Amino acid sequence: MKYLIAGLGNIGAEYANTRHNIGFKVLDALAKASNIFFKDGRYASVAELRHKGRTFILIKPNTYMNLSGKAVRYWMQTEKVPIENLLVLVDDIALPFGMLRMRGKGSDGGHNGLKDVARILGSEDYARIRMGVGNEFERGQQVDFVLSEWSTSEAEQLPIFIEKASNAVLNFGTIGLDRTMNLFNTK
């Protein structure tokens, strides 16, 4: 079985430690734990992870967050991954820091990365993990907030949060969407 795991974020050193790049961070952690490396590919950095008889194609689109759909579609087609085996990881300001919310389908909830993926795929019927980054910002400042770096206390807790999301990714491929949602959609 083959799965495509798309961690959304923005390329460039200035974005590396921002809240918006938590999707990249989770894939980096998965790669490091498995001693695999990302290689530059078309529209994305790509790594192949094997776990419990499954193949996970990890992609970090280099198209920037708001144009992620092109990379997702390209790698789904290239790797012949059906939409039910796609999982997209994004930040979410509607969830408290450290909370995960996994869904098998749904609206973009105002997230431009999810919006572009749905537009390019012509469907919202794909799994996603929304990772709570909190909402400690003034009205109208959400862009500055997601493009800013983690607070000191968040940075200390981030490894635990990333490990939790990494485990959810692996469980998606091994025990399925519904059981993974039951395990990880809690506080």
Q: Is 51 a known active-site residue?
A: no
Spatial distance between the Cα atoms of 55 and 18, rounded to a whole number of angstroms: 28
- Look at residues 177, 157, 159 and name the one whose alpha carbon lies nearest to residue 168: 177
Catalytic residue among 20, 111, 128, 130: 20
Contact 32, 116 (CB under 8 A): no
Residues 6+ apart with CB under 8 A from 41: 59, 75
Write down the H helix ranges in the chain: 22-34, 68-79, 112-121, 142-146, 152-174, 177-184
Residues assigned a catalytic role: 20
